[in-house]
């Protein structure tokens, strides 16, 4: 078995300083603000555990995080830190943190700051492939859009159906993630009439271009016109956030989640939304319908910005399973089952 060396660089540089350098280098790739924040959370959480006296090698007294040297970060201390980190967290969160630390050490090795990457000596959890969670019910997406497009609910204190409809449509008809929606600018919708598309910066800073049909383009224009009437023309420039709240401030994560949940309630489809999916159920619906209509895994991969074909193939596999379930439910097949049993 190959020996994994502990990290004992000659220069005793401070861990927290190296973390900042890594994040600055990553920022050049233009990842979303949410991705960078996740990197920082994962790195800092493990770093705090490494600074704990119980995890420092040889029982050394605990050091303040600001003074913890990189030489104190060994394969042994990382295993202990990740064991503590994993206890209260889901496998997906632990896997993400492991990947972040692996990238961090790969950066340090490439920069000549440490002699090797100890992360191969730290076990990582197996994360089961997530199952797509589209909205349940054949006509549910249409029912949702129609309910939101109609006269606003009288219980809403600040109704803005034009904006709400655009949020739902961008997720249902372009498959955008929550973070991607928040990062959109007015100028993200580009192209000539009839050939419009939305430019998206996806996970890992991967850009993609998603075509949008004239109907969605018209909804975007109607929303922007309603926004000009509310807040003035000067508030709508190419660099302005596309989605804003009732005060014309950029819409934030919590506000967007609440908006989508309130739309589900207004449409009376809360029971058709898979648990834990919320806005992501709209993206999954987009992908599932692509698969049902014959799109290939590679086409789904490009449109949704997946990193691998495996993720995209899941939607096709689920669709095939749904088709088999429908065949099994056929009354004639049930009759055949009775005859076979006789």
Query: What's the confidence (pLDDT) of residue 239?
Result: 96
Query: DSSP code of 90?
Result: -
Distance (Å) of CA 172 to CA 27, 62, 63, 155, 202: 30, 51, 50, 25, 16
pTM over 0.85: no
| Contacts of range 292-295, beta carbons closer than 8 Å, 24 or more positions apart | 292/319
Asked whether 304 and 122 are in contact (CB, 8 A), the reply is no
CA distance 43 to 60: 22
Beta bridge partners of 185: 241
CA distance 253 to 279: 11
More confident residue, 100 or 321: 100
Alpha helices in the chain (DSSP H): 15-27, 33-50, 75-86, 91-110, 140-149, 161-174, 178-183, 214-231, 253-267, 279-292, 297-304, 309-328, 331-341
Tokens 């994560």 belong to 253
Which helix (H) or strand (E) covers residue 134, if one does? none
Token readout for 162 is 């034009």
Render pLDDT for 35-55 as a digit per residue (tens, 0 to 9): 889 999 999 999 999 987 554
Asked whether the predicted pLDDT for residue 113 surpasses 90, the reply is: yes
CA distance 20 to 108: 12
Asked whether the predicted pLDDT for residue 26 surpasses 60, the reply is: yes
CA distance 274 to 142: 17
Render pLDDT for 184-228 as a digit per residue (tens, 0 to 9): 999 999 998 888 999 998 877 788 888 889 999 999 999 999 999
């Amino acid at each position: 078995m190959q020996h994994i060396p502990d990290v004992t660089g000659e220069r005793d540089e401070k861990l927290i300083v190296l973390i900042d350098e890594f994040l600055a280098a990553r920022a050049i790739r233009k990842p979303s603000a949410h991705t960078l924040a996740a990197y920082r959370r994962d790195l800092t959480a493990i770093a705090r555990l490494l600074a704990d006296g119980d995890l420092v090698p040889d029982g050394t007294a605990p050091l303040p995080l600001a003074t913890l040297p990189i030489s104190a970060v060994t394969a042994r201390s990382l295993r202990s830190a990740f064991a503590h980190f994993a206890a209260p967290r889901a496998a997906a969160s632990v896997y993400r943190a492991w990947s972040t630390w692996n990238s961090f050490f790969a950066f340090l090795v490439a920069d000549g700051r440490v002699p090797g990457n100890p992360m191969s000596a730290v076990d990582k959890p197996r994360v089961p492939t997530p199952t797509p969670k589209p909205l349940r019910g054949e006509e549910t997406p249409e029912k949702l859009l129609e309910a939101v497009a109609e006269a606003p609910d009288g219980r809403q204190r600040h109704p803005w159906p034009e904006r709400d409809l655009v949020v739902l449509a961008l997720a249902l008809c372009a498959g955008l993630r929550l973070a991607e929606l928040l990062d959109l600018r007015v100028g993200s919708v580009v192209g000539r009439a009839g050939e419009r598309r939305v430019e998206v910066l996806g996970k890992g800073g991967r850009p993609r271009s998603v075509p949008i049909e004239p109907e969605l383009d018209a909804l975007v224009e109607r929303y922007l016109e309603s926004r000009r009437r509310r807040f003035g023309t000067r508030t709508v420039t190419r660099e302005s956030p596309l989605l804003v709240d009732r005060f014309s401030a950029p819409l934030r994560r919590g506000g967007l989640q609440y908006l989508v949940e309130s739309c589900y309630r207004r449409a009376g489809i809360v029971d058709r939304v898979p648990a834990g999916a919320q806005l992501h159920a709209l993206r999954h619906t987009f992908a599932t319908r692509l698969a049902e209509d014959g799109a290939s895994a590679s086409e789904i991969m490009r449109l949704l910005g997946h990193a691998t074909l495996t993720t995209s193939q899941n939607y096709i596999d689920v669709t095939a399973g749904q088709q088999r379930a429908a065949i099994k439910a056929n009354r004639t097949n049930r009759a055949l089952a009775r005859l076979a049993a006789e």
